[in-house]
Amino acid sequence: MLKVEIVKIDVSAKKAQKMTDYVAEEKPLQIFLNRTHYATIFCSPSNLKELAVGHVLTEGIVKSADEVEQTRLKDDACHIKLKSNVNLEKRLKLFQPFSRVILSACGSGALYQFSGKLSKIKSDLHVEAQIIHNSVGRLNSVAETFRKTGGVHAAAIYRSNGELVAFAEDIGRHNAVDKVIGICALNKTDFSQCFLALSGRLTGDIVFKSARIGIPIVASLAAAIDSGIAIAKDVGLTLIGFVRGKRMNVYSFPERILS
C-alpha cells in the first residue's frame, strides 16, 4: 500500500478537504525458469515467491512443487531452478509464446480453452454449506489491504472444517489465486482435501487454475460466468457463486455441499 495526498469532496455538504489516503501498489515481477525468462506479471508486491511458484504450477509448465529445486527472489525477479530431470526446453515448446506480459486486469489468456486436457477432479471432499458461507465471509475480515484501499482481490484456501490454510491479496484476482496455491504447494498441502474461496468473478481462467492442481470446490462472493461453469462441469469441480447474505448459487456438482 502507498499513501497519497488527495482532495476529498463531499458533494452534499459542498466541502473539499485535503487528506491522505491509501492506494494499492502495482509492480512487475519477472519470472525466470532456470535461466529462461518465462513471464512478466504485474501484481501487488507481496508473496512474490509464492506467486511465481503458483503461476507456473497452474499454467502446467511445472507439474508439481517437487520439481522445484530452488526459488530465489532478487529485486523484481523470481528465479526458479528446476531439478535436472525436468526437460524444460521440451515443455517450453508446448507453451509458445512463453515469454509473456500478464497484466493485473486479465488472466492467463486463452489457455483455459483447452480444458479437455485437464484431468477429472478426484476427491471425496464434502463440506457443510455453513462452512463455505462462513469461510467466504471471512475474506473481508482478514483482507487488510482491501479495507484500506478497496483496490485488491482476496483469495484463501481452507480445509473442510473451515481451517484457514493460506490467504493472499492482489490487484489481480488470478494473481491472488496463484499466491495461495503457491503457498500451499510449497507447504505440501493436499489440494484434494481443500476448497478455494475468493472475492473475484469465477471466470474460465480461475476455474482452469483450480482444476489444474486438483481443487474440488471453488466458492466466491462474486458471480460465475459461462466459461467458468463450462470448465467446472467438464472436469467435475463444484463451483459456487454469490456466497453472500443467506444464500449461495451452486452451478455444478452440488453433491459435495452438505446442507
* pLDDT single digits (tens) 22-81: 999 999 999 999 999 999 999 999 999 999 999 999 999 999 999 999 999 998 999 999
The domain boundary residue, chosen from 84, 114, 144: 114
User: Range of 102's domain?
Assistant: 27-114
Which is more confident, 91 or 99? 91
Last residue of some domain: 114, 149, 180? 114
Q: Is residue 19 part of a domain?
A: no
pLDDT of residue 106: 60
Check 43, 78, 106, 194 and give the catalytic one: 106
- Where is pLDDT greater, at 153 or 95? 153
**Which CATH number belongs to the domain containing residue 37 in this structure?**
3.10.20.10
The answer on 219 and 151 residing in a single domain is yes
Q: What are the grid coordinates assigned to 65, written together?
A: 512443487
Contact 201, 173 (CB under 8 A): yes
Cβ atoms within 10 Å of 234's Cβ, excluding its own: 15
Is residue 139 domain-shared with residue 217, that is, in the same domain? yes
Q: Are 204 and 230 in contact (CB under 8 A)?
A: yes
Q: Is residue 245 part of a domain?
A: yes
Full-model pTM: 0.92
Structurally, the chain folds into a number of domains equal to 2
Measure the CA angle with vertex 159, ends 128 and 231; round to 5°: 80
Alpha helices in the chain (DSSP H): 48-58, 88-93, 129-142, 144-149, 173-186, 204-212, 226-235
Boundary residue ending a domain (82, 114, 146): 114
- 176 and 55 in a single domain? The answer is no
Tell whether 51 and 160 lie within a shared domain: no
Q: How far is CA 160 from the centre of its chain?
A: 19
Quick one: the chain helix, strand, coil %, rounded to 5? Answer: 35, 35, 30
Domain-located, residue 180: yes
> What is the model's pLDDT at position 112?
47
More confident residue, 108 or 206: 206
**pLDDT value at residue 114:** 45
Is 141 found in the same domain as 96? no
Q: Is residue 185 in a domain? A: yes
What is the pLDDT confidence band of residue 113, given thresholds at 50, 70 and 90? very low
Verify whether residue 78 is a known catalytic residue. no
